[in-house]
Chain A
Amino acid sequence: MTPYTVIAPTRRLALPDVRALWRFRELLYFLVWRDIKVRYKQTAFGAAWAVFQPLLQMLVFTLVFGMFARLPSDGYPYAAFVYTGLVPWTYFATAAAAASTSVVTDQALLTKVWFPRLVLPLASVVRPAVDFAVSAVAAVALLLWYGIAPTWQLLLVPAWLALAAATALATGLWLSALHVRFRDVQHVIPLLLQVWLFASPVAYPLSLVPQRWRGLYALNPAAQVVEGMRAALLGKSDPILASLPACVLLVALALLGGALFFRAIERTFADVV
């Protein structure tokens, strides 16, 4: 008779146990569901906050960068330009930050029950997608109000969302595993995201980036996502950033490395956290 489970010291380098992850897919669902429920308990406006947040940010950005600094916006109204950038950015930043702290946030679970630990950063990346959907619909409405009709390119939105999710997950896998050991991570995240925001074309158009920096700039997956999602929403036809394949490869490598690293550290989570 073969045992159902064998418990023994594991190898240091191994890929995630996909079968176990599949068995616990409902836990992923319930963790997402819990966080969404809890987030809007005892709030007066509920899920409307998903729209308010990028909308208020849009107003501030429009005022400061559009009206005071008079940044160009590729010929689109600045408000529409910045909102279409903020929608993917907000998703990415929320997902990356939540995934990076996910393991420590749920440490009470970690020390009392077993489940594939990977569920925690995964759930953190899935959860903000709900807010994203709401704010993306608002974006389309805003564009219609400005007289910009959606084109077939809208169909590319999920693909860009997938790249954003993969980037956020890769970031989260590395940082959440480090966070268990080094609480410094929680101080690093806001700084990292702030730098990352200004290294992505959210508030300004790509045309402002000097030509000789473009090659390096294009390797930033968040820049690809923001630029790509904006083009998809606005129906822009001109080519966006070059070297997308190189960037995707970079994300894939970071994800693979993150998965191996997470797996190697995961076995000590409950001992250290």
Chain B
Amino acid sequence: MSDLALRVQGLSKSYVLGAPPPATMLREQLALWARRALGRAPAPNTTDFWALRDVSFDVRRGEIVSLIGRNGAGKSTLLKILSRIVEPTHGRAEIYGRIGSLLEVGTGFHPELSGRENVYLNAAILGMRRTEIARRFDEIVAFAEIDRFIDVPVKRYSSGMYVRLAFAIAAHVDPEILILDEVLAVGDAAFQRKCLGKIGSVARDGRTVVFVSHDMNAVTTLSQRALRLADGRLVDAGPVHEVVGRYLATLTADTPRGTRVLTVPDVSSAPVAVTSARTLGAGSEATDVVARSSAVLVTLDGEVRRAPRDDEEYFVALDVHGADDARLFRTHNVEQRWFAAVPREPGPFRLSCTIPAELLIPGRYRLGLIVGIAGRQHVQEVYPLLELDVVQDRLVADVWPNHVGVVTPRCEWKLLA
């Protein structure tokens, strides 16, 4: 088969979990060796965690294939193996062509160096020759739209400029097989469109793209074929619309509705946590179907398990995702216009969040939960948390139904003249 780009056969990757923990102290390791040598060490109680299990597939030249699945399904591990960053435990992958992978935007950027210097450095890290970089330099700068700032250290760049430059370099490396991980999740909408266009044109040139995304919109517009991973196994493969459709259906089947009691992470990792969540419509009973004319009330019961330090502030946030799994927006308990702060004393608390009426168009929505320490870290993340349907009211139909777009905020119109 001469049009093969990638052949993956029985690829597996295991990590060792449990005792002994990865010894970070030489002393512990030496002591362990000594005890083992004396025959006194208990058999190490290790459990293997299979991040990837017996995955096989082929990718033809010029194909754009997307990898989908939930967090922890093994997508990133697979990309890391194909990029040769980690080694598989079993199996093999044959790659027919020069491979370029972009698992992160701006790998190896040095803040002190100028944009120009970083182009050379980053391109070299991605495997480009100096002569090649010099030849494509102007193209890269033009694509990134930062020509005026090319000699300024990148530590003075805005995050948008930084990301644009980084993507521009990666997009001009021109490998025969391109591996992308979630890189489209950055940058503003206009730049994202430009990146999508670039990826599409890469494939039209006969090159192959394998990419991971949580944005089902990008997945379906870009790729013809999708592979779905779950718990490290390849569970579905085929035309993108079919695979995505089945994936969204499993999300629906697995997502609780109405009420949910959560398993809470350990206190050491989560000093604050949400223990249960409910969605309510017009009534006081938990429900998973809400009329468009009524607000969606989400109540969250939680517990402060360790008081925050003086410079810490706990927060709770909700994500609202549409049926295609794209996130519509995130809302925090503490924002500019309201201040429902999590109490600072240990003990239970209850928060509620009202998603305004007539904002969501009829359809299926999934909520995600994020609990964390503001500006520091997330201590609890649950997605999908709850699923609900917003339905058209049977009695009060919109006079002028407007379901173009994804949300319908109340915008005020006036006739001024």
Contact = CB atoms under 8 A, between A and B. Distances in A.
Contact of B88 (A3, A5, A9, A108): A9
A29 B121 CA distance: 10
Nearest to A268: B87
Interface string B112-146: 11000100110011110110000000000000000
Contacts of B129: 26
A179 B359 CA distance: 55
Contacts of B126: 113
Interface stretch (B34-42, B98-106, B198-206): B98-106
Contacts of B24: 181-183
A270 interface: yes
B26 A272 contact: no
Interface of A: 1, 3-10, 24, 26-27, 29-30, 33-34, 37-38, 41-42, 108-115, 181-184, 267-268, 270-272
Contacts of A27: 124-125, 127
Contacts of B29: 182
B73 interface: no
21 contacts: A1-B2, A3-B7, A3-B96, A5-B94, A7-B95, A8-B88, A8-B91, A9-B89, A24-B127, A26-B129, A33-B121, A37-B117, A109-B107, A109-B125, A114-B84, A181-B23, A182-B23, A182-B24, A184-B27, A268-B87, A270-B80
A218 B254 CA distance: 71
Nearest 4 A/B pairs, CB to CB: A3-B94, A114-B84, A8-B92, A30-B124
Contact of A113 (B25, B107, B120, B153): B107
Contacts of B113: 34, 37-38, 41
Contacts of B121: 30, 33-34
B108 A108 contact: yes
Contacts of A24: 127
B107 A112 contact: yes
Contacts of A9: 87-90
A9 B348 CA distance: 50
Contacts of B82: 7
Q: In this complex, which of A7, A38, A184 has the most chain B Cβ atoms within 10 angstroms of its Cβ?
A: A7
Contacts of A271: 15, 86
Interface in B13-64: 15, 22-27, 29
B163 interface: no
A7 B81 contact: yes
Contacts of B110: 34, 38
Contact of A112 (B25, B89, B103): B103
Interface in B129-169: 129-130, 153
B83 interface: yes
Contacts of A268: 87
A182 B97 contact: no
B93 interface: yes
Contacts of A267: 87
Nearest to B95: A5
Interface residues of B, number: 50
Contacts of A272: 22
Nearest to A27: B124
Contact of B101 (A7, A34, A42, A114): A114
Contacts of B86: 270-271
Contacts of A114: 83-85, 101
Nearest to A110: B85
Nearest to A111: B85
A113 B4 contact: no
Contacts of A38: 110, 112-113
A4 B127 contact: no
Given A37-B113, A113-B103, 16 more contacts: A1-B2, A3-B95, A3-B96, A4-B95, A4-B97, A6-B92, A7-B84, A7-B95, A8-B88, A30-B124, A33-B121, A42-B112, A112-B108, A113-B108, A184-B27, A271-B15
Nearest to B100: A113
A5 B130 CA distance: 23
A158 B293 CA distance: 83
A21 to B, nearest CB: 13
A30 B120 contact: yes
Nearest to B4: A1
A5 B121 CA distance: 24
Given A26-B130, A182-B25, A112 B95 contact: no
A111 B76 CA distance: 12
A7 B26 contact: no
A7 B127 CA distance: 18
Given A6-B94, A34-B110, A113 B26 contact: no
Given A10-B87, A41-B112, A108-B107, A1 B23 contact: no
Contacts of A3: 7, 94-96
A181 B103 CA distance: 24
A272 B23 CA distance: 10
Contacts of B80: 270
Given A184-B25, A270-B86, A115 B95 contact: no
Nearest to B22: A272
B124 A7 contact: no
B62 to A, nearest CB: 16
A1 to B, nearest CB: 6
B7 to A, nearest CB: 8
A4 B89 CA distance: 21
Contacts of B98: 4
Interface string B275-293: 0000000000000000000
